[in-house]
Amino acid sequence: MINRLGFNNLGSKNIVDRIKRNNPIGLFGVNIGPNKDSKDRMNDYLECLKTFHQYADYITINISSPNTEDLRSFHEQHKLSELLQALDDEKKNLKSKTPIVVKISPDVGDDEIQKISETLLMNNVEAIIISNTSDSTRGSLTNIQSHQKGGLSGKPIETKSTRLIGKFYKLFKGQIKIIGVGGVDSGKSAYEKFLAGANYVQLYTGMVFKGPNIVNLIKKELKELLIKDGVGNFNEIVGKKE
């Protein structure tokens, strides 16, 4: 899929009211980012943190949507460090224990990976989401709409995100959890993410194509693969890719 939705919604206050009316069941994460036309993007993140921290099981700091112009500049080490330090200070002011998770682009280069890893390790970040959609990776697509503007998701970025997981896993050495995203639509694709170093997986595009029951299908197929390989728990294979 190519999406260009951005962060369109009625605003954080409206979303909080909806959360209050519909008490979430299970693990509940909130994805936050700045307004597209904001004059102070740092403050937008802080305001969203203050608004959502008591309702979320974790808060995702989205610095990687390809649909918000120049948002990916937060991948720069100085800007990322400044943002994460401000968020950590605000968490302390709020006396909040809500974990902070950073969602990155799949299009980062090897030189950026080292710098991002160092910055996350220094700033009390509990987890990283690898990865958001891609604004490149179009070379093998045959559909006439393949080069339209927007973030490319699903199977075309599966290998790219999995390789990126492996690179970050080696640098984190277990200190930061990894949530693997990109092309997860089967037990096998989830298995590959775990092997690369993911502790958890997320999916979106697979659910669009196969419906909500895809979760049960993935769990069933994953269980069969683990049993076949003599693995008692998926945690045993995290980062074991040769």
- pLDDT digit string (tens) for 49-66? 999 999 999 999 999 999
Predicted pLDDT of residue 142: 83
Kindly tell me the burial class for residue 3, based on how many C-beta atoms sit within 10 Å of its own C-beta (0-12, 13-18, 19 or more).
Answer: middle
Mean pLDDT in the chain?
Answer: 95
- Look at the alpha carbons of 116, 117, 122, 127 in this order and tell me if their dihedral is positive or negative: positive
pLDDT at 242 over 80: no
Residue 143, pLDDT > 90, answer no
Q: Looking at residue 141, what is its pLDDT?
A: 86
Residues designated as active site:
65
Task: Look at residue 98 in the predicted model and tell me its pLDDT.
Answer: 97
pTM of the predicted model as reported, rounded to 2 decimal places: 0.95
| Range in 147-156, 163-172, 194-203, 205-214 the model is least confident about | 147-156
Residues sharing a CB contact under 8 Å with residue 201, sequence separation 6 or more, in sequence order: 179, 180, 181, 184, 190, 193, 194
Mean pLDDT, range 94-98, rounded to an integer: 97
Confidence of residue 139 (pLDDT cuts 50, 70, 90): confident
- What domains can you pick out in the chain, each with its CATH number? 2-231 (3.20.20.70)
| Neighbouring C-alpha atoms within 13 Å toward the C-beta of 158 | 20
Res 84: pLDDT: 98
